A and B are shown apart, each in its own frame.
Chain A
Amino acid sequence: MKKHMMPAMKEGGVNVTPLIDIVMCLIIFFMLVAKIGVATGADSKIEPPSTILGTKIEDMGNTLTLNVTDPNPRDESGNFLSRHLKQPEVRALIDGSTQPREIKIEQNFGSVTDQPLLRVLKAAVEGDPKKNVQPNPNFKVIILAEKDLQYSMLEQVLVTCAQAKVKNVNFQTRQVKAEAGAPG
């Protein structure tokens, strides 16, 4: 009787199984680590101060990042040429914008004074029926300020946050590792 043997298995091309394994691992890694669709409006050009301590904010959807910079002119090495402007430049993602827009702390129109930043923060905390924004007492502000900003400028932002009754203000910093043996 003639034996029916199975034909020898021949692969049609390159074995892609290890490739798929690695690619799947990479996909799972990126899905877990990467943050997609959370645009905070943080300006990557701003260099914040460095700290060892610090926390992470899980609920980034409940925050507004204020990019605070000194608008006074500087020379090529970054030194200020003058300090005649007393109000900081504040930029943030507002009204559904995709790029941070400038929000003035105070604007004078003749005898009328407008406070756009206070309006924005109050609307976020107390809600805005016109824009269908619900009150949010747990609203957080993140301040991303450049490290050589003077306190007289930062103070104006902090005062506005206090006037808007923002209870939680966070200062974004760059994390540095503690020296070996150092506390913290």
Chain B
Amino acid sequence: MRIRGAKQVHYDSGPNMTPLVDVVMVILIFLMLAGSFGGVEHYLTSNIPIQAKGGVGGEPPPPGFIPDEQLLVSVDPDPQYGFRVVAGNIRVAGDAKSLEAAFVQKRQAYEATGTPASKIQVVLSPSGAIKYENLTAVYEAALKANFEKVGFAKSH
């Protein structure tokens, strides 16, 4: 019995892609295993060093240097609200949004007297017992209020 098609010739339709697929798959698996993705890489930046009376690591200012205006923000732990902030006439406990609104008002008050935000240093003066999480909330509120220089003082 004759099998039909047995003598038919098979033609390749193009170049052999198998080595390419092999190499590409190896590269893909390598990249998937070796690569890491920016999940938590998110930073709050402080450009002013920690401050204290007597100066920590500070250098003497150059002649003619006009120091920035300082807004000292006292941050203390609060058993009910997490944190309590006192800065001049600002009194806020636990609510980051109220604190942000108060900081905005403060900045506008400074600007009304001719002091731009770039010439104001917001210095957080925390209690040693305050949690980093609560301190970050205060720090973020100051940044959200468009203060450009936010830093820390030694604990009180």
Contact = CB atoms under 8 A, between A and B. Distances in A.
Given A51-B140, A169-B45, A171-B46, 8 more contacts: A10-B13, A30-B35, A52-B140, A54-B43, A154-B132, A158-B152, A170-B43, A171-B43
Contacts of B126: 151
Given A11-B13, A148-B132, A151-B135, A33 B56 contact: no
A147 interface: yes
Interface in B40-97: 40-47, 49-50, 56-58, 97
A42 B43 CA distance: 13
A74 interface: no
Nearest to A10: B10
Contact of B42 (A30, A51, A183): A51
A173 interface: yes
Contacts, number: 171
Contacts of B24: 20, 23-24, 27
Nearest to B152: A158
Interface of A: 7, 9-12, 16-17, 19-20, 23-24, 26-27, 30-31, 33-38, 42, 48-49, 51-57, 142, 145-152, 154-155, 158-159, 161-175, 182-184
A172 B44 CA distance: 7
19 contacts: A10-B8, A20-B24, A23-B24, A30-B28, A30-B31, A33-B37, A36-B34, A55-B43, A56-B43, A147-B132, A150-B130, A150-B131, A151-B129, A151-B130, A155-B128, A158-B50, A168-B46, A168-B47, A172-B40
B154 A159 contact: yes
B17 A161 contact: no
Given A9-B13, A27-B27, A171 B21 contact: no
A30 B36 CA distance: 9
B155 A151 contact: yes
Contacts of A149: 131-132
* Residue of B40, B43, B143 with highest tally of chain A CB at under 10 A: B43
Contacts of B10: 10, 12
Given A49-B132, A53-B144, A151-B155, A163 B44 contact: no
Contacts of B56: 159, 162-163
A13 to B, nearest CB: 9
A4 to B, nearest CB: 15
B49 A20 contact: no
Nearest to A44: B40
A30 B26 CA distance: 13
Nearest to A48: B40
B105 interface: no
B42 A148 contact: no
A20 B35 CA distance: 21
A171 B136 contact: yes
A167 B151 CA distance: 11
Contacts of A54: 42-44
